[in-house]
Amino acid sequence: MKPDAIRIATIVGTVRPGSYTSKALALVIDELHKKPGVEVKSLDPATMDLPFPGQAKGAAGADELRTAVAGATGIVLATPEYHGSFSAVTKLVIENLGFPSVLAGKPVALLGVAGGQIGAIKSLEQLRGVCSHVGALVLPMSVSVANVRASFDAQGRCLDDKVEARIRGVATVLLDYIHDHVCPKLTLERMVRGEAA
C-alpha cells in the first residue's frame, strides 16, 4: 500500500450470487481502477462472519470490515431495494462498523438498484439518513438504477450507455470530493507537522 494512495472501500449490500447490485458495483470498481493513485478494497459480506446485534463480538469478519473501513479514504455502499428499503445485509454491515462508527467522518457515495420503475429512491433516502446518523459524510448525487434486470446481461455487461455512465459517475463524484476536500486537508496537516514541504 502506497502511503499517499487514495484508498476506497466498496461494500456490496447483498449476499445473493450474481446479484444486479454486484454487477452495478463492478462498474464503479472498474472506474476506480482506471484512476492513478487509487487503491480499491472490495468487501463482500457473503465471505465474512458478521454477527447480528447482541451476539458475541470479536468475529474475524467484523474486525476485517472495521479495519478496512477505518483505513479507507472514502466508501462506496451499494444496496438493492427490498420491500421499499435498503437490504438487511446493508444494515448488518453498518451495525458491524461499531458505535462510534468507523464511518464517522468518511465520505460515502451511495448506489442503489431496484427492479421497479422508480428505482431505489426509497432505499437510498433511508440509507442516507442512517449513514448520516452515524456521522458519515454522505455525498450528493446518489445513483439509483431502475428496471435493473433490463440494464444488465447475464455476464454483467450494462446494456444502456446512459445508465452505465451514471453508475460510473459514483466513482467520479467520490474521487472529486476527496481531491477537493480530503487531500488538501491532509496536505495542510502534514505541512503544519513538518512532514511535507
Model-level pTM?
0.90
Residue pLDDT tens, the chain, 197 long: 455 789 999 999 999 999 999 999 999 999 999 999 999 999 999 999 998 887 766 678 899 999 999 999 999 999 999 999 999 999 999 999 998 999 999 999 999 999 999 999 999 999 999 999 999 999 999 999 999 999 999 899 999 999 999 999 999 999 999 999 887 665 555 555 665 54
Tell me whether residue 40 is in a domain: yes
**Residue 72 belongs to domain with CATH number:** 3.40.50.360
d(CA 2, CA 127): 31
Tell me whether residue 197 is in a domain: no
Asked whether 62 and 170 are in contact (CB, 8 A), the reply is no
Q: Which of 13, 86, 12, 93 is nearest to 51 (CA)?
A: 93
First to last CA, the chain: 22
Residue 109 has which C-alpha cell?
Answer: 457515495
d(CA 103, CA 101): 5
Query: Model confidence over 38-71: pLDDT tens digits?
Result: 999 999 999 999 988 877 666 788 999 999 999 9
- According to DSSP, the residues that pair with 8 across neighbouring strands are 40, 74
Tell me whether residue 50 is in a domain: yes
d(CA 155, CA 23): 9
Alpha helix stretches (DSSP H) within 11-120? 20-33, 60-70, 88-95
Tell me whether residue 118 is in a domain: yes
Domain limits for position 33: 6-192
Average pLDDT over the chain, rounded to an integer: 91
Tell me whether residue 154 is in a domain: yes
d(CA 138, CA 125): 11
Tell me whether residue 172 is in a domain: yes
Tell me whether residue 159 is in a domain: yes
Tell me whether residue 59 is in a domain: yes
How many domains does the chain divide into?
1
